[in-house]
Amino acid sequence: MGISKHIRATWKRPKEGMPPLYRRDRMASWRRSPVFQRADRPTRLDAARRLGYKAKQGVVIVRTRVRRGGLRKGKIHMKRKPSKAGIKKITMAKSIQRIAEERVSRRYPNLEVLNSYWVGEDGKNKFYEVILLDPSHPAIMSDKDFSWVSEGNSHKGRAFRGLTSAGKRGRGLYNKGKGAEKLRPSLKANKNRGK
């Protein structure tokens, strides 16, 4: 079993694969650290490589945390049934992973989000690592796999336009082939038949 396969198998069941004290201490250190933390190397090397990560200049890993749970809504002081007040059990249209990508993209305006992956969660937060590319870095411009991000303005704000893997999943574009004809080019197109 290669090292990448071993890492992947460990992360499939992190509670069984890692010692509980190690996981607890790591989460505690992440909670104490700032919301946006530059990482020297990916915590999950297998997931990062699968999503396009390369250990080279111009590629940045940022760990971030986002609060868990449904949409926080204020109480509506109007005459209506309590069941229609609409405070609890309301989920956002965006996933927490997409929110994490957008926040990191706002924090680093000169970089573009390539992808992101889950690294952990506790009772209050979810932690994600976001892979960022520097479009103006010579190493990225000359790389055959990354040079597309430097070409024109069509790749600006990828996270906000739902062009990452998490964004495409949220837009319903994850399925391809037979049965996915109504999904293209977007959920709103084709008389709103997308979902």
pLDDT tens digits for range 125-177? 999 999 999 999 999 999 999 999 999 888 999 999 999 999 988 888 887 78
The answer, yes or no, to whether residue 25 has pLDDT greater than 70, is yes
Mean pLDDT of 24-37: 92
Q: ω into residue 82 within 30 of 0, thus cis?
A: no
Examine the domain organization and report whether 13 and 62 are in the same domain: yes
Q: Cα separation of 28 and 36, whole Å? A: 15
Examine the domain organization and report whether 92 and 188 are in the same domain: no
Higher pLDDT among residues 91 and 58, named by residue: 58
CATH number (domain holding residue 65): 3.40.1120.10
Do the domain assignments include residue 93?
yes
Do the domain assignments include residue 9?
yes
Examine the domain organization and report whether 135 and 188 are in the same domain: no
Q: What percent of the chain has pLDDT over 90?
A: 55
The answer, yes or no, to whether residue 178 has pLDDT greater than 90, is no
Secondary-structure breakdown of the chain: helix, strand, coil percentages, each rounded to the nearest 5: 35, 15, 50
Examine the domain organization and report whether 96 and 171 are in the same domain: no
Helix, strand or coil, per DSSP, at residue 11: helix
Do the domain assignments include residue 76?
no
Q: Whose structure tokens read 């924090």?
A: 107
Examine the domain organization and report whether 107 and 194 are in the same domain: no
Q: Cα separation of 186 and 26, whole Å? A: 40
Examine the domain organization and report whether 111 and 36 are in the same domain: yes
Do the domain assignments include residue 78?
no
Task: Quote the pTM value.
Answer: 0.86
The CA distances from residue 83 to 25, 40, 74, 91, in Å, are: 41, 49, 14, 16
Examine the domain organization and report whether 12 and 56 are in the same domain: yes
Q: Cα separation of 176 and 121, whole Å? A: 30
Q: In which domain, by residue range, is 176 found?
A: 164-195
Higher pLDDT among residues 84 and 112, named by residue: 112
Examine the domain organization and report whether 88 and 183 are in the same domain: no
Do the domain assignments include residue 181?
yes
Per-residue pLDDT of 88-109, as tens digits, reads: 778 888 899 999 999 999 999 9
Question: Quick one: pLDDT at residue 1?
Answer: 54
Examine the domain organization and report whether 95 and 174 are in the same domain: no
Examine the domain organization and report whether 64 and 129 are in the same domain: yes
Examine the domain organization and report whether 101 and 179 are in the same domain: no
Examine the domain organization and report whether 30 and 98 are in the same domain: yes
H helical segments located in 33-111 = 45-50, 96-107
Domains identified in the chain, total number: 2
